[in-house]
Amino acid sequence: MYDVYIAEATIEHDYESFNSSEKKEAYINKVFAENNVTQAQWDSSLSWYSDKIDLYLKMNDSVKARLKRAQSDIDKKISQLQSQSFMPDTEIYSASYIPLTYSFNMPGSRSKGFRFQLDSTEISSNIPNNYFSFNLNAIGVPTSETNNLKYALILVYNDTTIYKVENIDENRNYGIPVSKYVNNDTLIQIFGFVHLETLPGITPNIQLYDIYLGSQ
């Protein structure tokens, strides 16, 4: 029931991937197969529980409690990451906006950068392909260790959260690959940031360009 509820929620929110009854049926059947259950067995079980509604409601409440705990764990991880010192000091233009270029040599606070987030609807409409990446080019990166420049994605799936953090330590192209699906789990949220922390009084002339999240 737990896996079926997640599958049904995935189908409901990922309109592009499940835009036909055949695709929906195939996805549900795959969930059944992974649990060694057939559609006939599932239907028969529901029929049996229809005459024992009290048992069904207890079981249903237990599954819903598990789903709620899983969601709470995801929310907690995201909250912990966002509460770290680099997040409040980064700029944010609008929730889902990613600048094409970004410069760190502007006067300002010690911690600089930007952050963004996309929900399932924005992911579906803005990123049509199953495989994509968060890409950028860096120039002016100093060879010294006076700065700590990172960029990252927090990928929230229905049943897991994946953290991908990369250092930007030389002048070149960077890319974090992403898949909408991992182990039959669907991507529902993306949190991302670029963050630079330097020593007091030092402002490196670092430029980022060709920044984008998607497929080329």
Q: How much of the chain exceeds pLDDT 70, in percent?
A: 80
Average confidence (pLDDT) over 103-125: 78
- For the chain, what are the domain ranges? 2-76, 89-214
The one-letter code for the residue type at 34 is: E
Tokens of 112: 């600089």
- pLDDT score of 25 more than 60: yes
Give the residue, 88 or 174, on which the prediction is more confident.
Answer: 174
Nearest to 138 by CA among 146, 150, 129: 150
* Residue 163, pLDDT score: 87
Residue 104: band (very low, low, confident or very high) from pLDDT cuts 50, 70, 90: confident
Report the chain's mean pLDDT, rounded to a whole number.
Answer: 83
Specify burial of residue 171 (Cβ count, 10 A radius: 0-12, 13-18, 19+). middle
pTM: 0.57
Average confidence (pLDDT) over 136-154: 84
- pLDDT score of 81 more than 60: no
- pLDDT score of 199 more than 70: no
* Residue 36, pLDDT score: 92
Which uninterrupted H or E stretch holds 8?
A: helix 2-13
Residue 86: band (very low, low, confident or very high) from pLDDT cuts 50, 70, 90: very low
The owner of tokens 């009854």 is 21
Fold annotation for 89-214: Jelly Rolls (2.60.120)
Q: Which distant-in-sequence residues (6+ apart) come within 8 Å of 189 by Cβ?
A: 117, 118, 119, 120, 123, 155, 156
